Amino acid sequence: MCLAIPARVVELLPGDMARVDVGGVRRDCSLALVDGIGVGDFVVLHVGYAIQRLDPEEADRTLALFAEAGLVT
Amino acid sequence: MAQVLVGKRAADAVAMVPRLFTICGRSQGVAAALACERATEIESEEIVRCARADLVDAEIAHEYLWRILLDWPRAVGDAGNTGLLAAARGQLSEALESAQWAMGYAPDGTVRRGSRWGDVRAKLRGLLAEDMMEGLPAALDDATHFNAWLATTKSSVAKIIARFRDVSAEMDRPGVPLLPPVTPEVAAGELARRLDVDGEFCAAPDWDGSPRETGARARQQSHPLVAELTRSLSSPVLPRLAARLVELAALLREERSARVGSTAIRPGDAIAWVETARGVLIHRATVEGERIARYQIVAPTEWNFHPRGALAVELEALRATDRGTLDRRVDLLVQSLDPCVTYGVEVGHA
């Protein structure tokens, strides 16, 4: 199933792209489907796209759940 | 993942579930609410049921538009239409937010408000009319109209689907049987029994001894167009795409499509099901006191991507004389079944 591990934006890249940190792993994603994302924001990713912005508290709660499930450290 | 819910209060577990899943969060949340409410003998009001149905419908529309505007074009080498998808997502997010209040366990009636899904559907019809939906839904009546539409329309979707048809025409028809609809009798009977005794069922489900295909083609198997394409074509790829178009066109007309249900197995123990974009999603909740004692989820992807399921048997039957053709056919096949995660293809030489 498609787990919604929150990804933190660490750098904005040219071409409406961003570099994000997902549980310590860096990857690049497209920002074409969400508006107004900046460095430090948390997003949910799907097949290379950011599809939803999370507020920081919600991201923290979700990350705690994934940590409890042993899926992130 | 369902294990993380064990020990939580039912209300907290229902609130957590939608946050755990990316693209099917609402369907997962509705399934969790239905299972936990049924297990604790809470009957939801009509307005709650309607708002939840709107959430499931809007999420299905979102998934189908993503397939049609991005994934299908890319599978045949086109760029896709990110701009139109972004515009449609803007509309859909309004509908989803307006019904969000109905997501939790026994939602508070004082915060209820009308869902905007009806207005959003009208706006989506306008947004998609010219480029994508031209000629629909009339072209979905039967195979004659459908083939004429593929041959003559200006619709970008028709051009993409025509290429799926051409590539899949060379593919064989192995397939697996279609999963029948979940009913309260099936859920309380055989489904409950399998969830009780079969430790592998959640990860690798089968039915009557055979892996099954779930999703739009299974739901629409009696639709005249889908039935005719299934009978006449050598591959289930095109019928799967046509079934999604049938459902999207119905969703964008005023038709209610959400198919959800729940049933008690025994006191404190219940099963809920939600028909999602990828097929049937099943949640089973056992609640003791206020807390979750057992939680099971059977996701649609586990049926279609079962080790002996639809993808596996159709991949085994694929033949191609060169790598490029093989890659194209694999992409079409995978896209027709719609995995919920990124996939990669590796080819080994025997």
| Span B192-221, pLDDT tens digits | 999 999 989 999 999 999 999 999 999 999
- Of chain B, the percentage scoring pLDDT greater than 90 comes to 75
> Which residues of B have a CB under 8 Å from any CB of A?
1, 3-4, 16, 19-25, 82, 85-86, 89, 297, 299, 301, 340-342
Nearest CB partner across the interface for A2, out of B19, B86, B341: B341
Quick one: pLDDT at residue B346? 84
Residue contact A3–B21, C-beta within 8 A: yes
* pLDDT the model gives residue B98: 92
Residue B350 banded pLDDT, cuts 50, 70, 90: low
B156, B157, B158, B159 alpha-carbon torsion, rounded to 10°: 50
Long-range contacts of B241-244, Cβ-Cβ distance < 8 Å, separation of 24 or more? B241/B72, B241/B161, B241/B164, B241/B336, B242/B140, B242/B146, B242/B161, B243/B215, B243/B216, B243/B217, B243/B219, B244/B64, B244/B67, B244/B68, B244/B216, B244/B277
The answer to whether residue A57 neighbours chain B at the CB level (below 8 Å) is no
Distance from CA of B337 to the nearest CA of A (A): 14
How far does B3 lie from chain A, in Å, by closest CA? Answer: 8
Distance from CA of B96 to the nearest CA of A (A): 13
Mutate to test the interface with A, among B16, B22, B103, B214 (most CBs of A within 10 A): B22
The beta-carbon neighbor of B22 closest among A30, A46, A66 is: A46
Tokens of B123: 């706006």
Interface test with B, best of A25, A47, A68, A71 (most B CBs within 10 A): A47
Q: What is the token pair recorded at B236?
A: 């289930």
Nearest beta carbon to residue B1 from set A48, A58, A69: A69
* Chain B residues within 8 A of A61 when measuring between CB atoms: 19
Beta bridge partners, B273, equal B261, B282
CA distances B124 to B26, B254, B255, Å, are: 20, 12, 14
Structural domains in chain B, CATH included, are 2-337 (1.10.645.10)
Give the C-alpha distances (Å, rounded to integers) separating A31 from A47, B218, B258.
12, 34, 30
* Tokens 């006449």 -> residue: B232
The structural domains of chain A, with segments of one domain joined by +, span 7-68
Closest by alpha carbon to A8, among A70, A68, A72, B88? A72
Q: Choose among A4, A30, A48: nearest Cβ to B21.
A: A4
User: Contact, B274 vs B27, CB < 8 A?
Assistant: yes
Long-range contacts of B39-45 (CB under 8 A, 24+ apart): B39/B10, B39/B264, B39/B268, B39/B269, B39/B270, B39/B285, B39/B286, B39/B287, B40/B10, B40/B268, B40/B287, B41/B264, B42/B105, B42/B106, B44/B106, B44/B107, B45/B109
Q: With H, G, I as helix, E, B as strand and everything else as coil, classify residue B241.
A: helix
Phi, psi (degrees; rounded to nearest 5) at B270:
-150, 160
Q: How far apart are CA B7 and CA B309, in angstroms?
A: 33
Model confidence, pTM: 0.94
**Interchain proximity A62–B25, CB inside 8 Å:** no
Mean pLDDT within B4-16 = 95
Are the C-beta atoms of B262 and B37 separated by less than 8 Å? yes
Is CATH 2.30.30.140 the classification given to domain A7-68?
Answer: yes
> How much is the mean pLDDT over chain B?
92
- Our CA-based measurement puts residue B342 at a distance from the nearest CA of chain A, in whole angstroms, of 5
- Tell me what ipTM this predicted complex has: 0.87
Read off the pLDDT band of B115 (50, 70, 90): confident
Confidence of residue B234 (pLDDT cuts 50, 70, 90): confident
Instruction: Quote the minimal CA–CA distance from B265 to chain A in Å.
Output: 25
More confident residue, B1 or B206: B206
Task: Report the pLDDT value the prediction gives residue B23, as an integer from 0 to 100.
Answer: 81
Determine the Cα–Cα distance for residues B306 and B324; give it in Å rounded to an integer.
26
Distance from CA of A57 to the nearest CA of B (A): 12
Give B166-187 pLDDT, tens digit per residue.
988 888 777 899 999 999 999 9
Instruction: Flag whether residue A58 sits within 8 Å of chain B, measured between CB atoms.
Output: yes
Q: Which residues of B touch A69 (CB under 8 A)?
A: 1, 3-4
**Quick check: B303 and B211 in contact, CB under 8 A?**
yes
- Chain A residues with CB-CB distance to B19 below 8 A: 4, 58, 61-62, 65
Chain A residues inside the 8 Å CB shell of B97: none
The residues of chain A scoring below 50 in pLDDT are none
Smallest Cβ distance to B4: which of A33, A48, A68?
A68
Are B334 and B311 in contact by the 8 Å Cβ rule? The answer is: yes
Task: Output the pLDDT for position A8.
Answer: 95
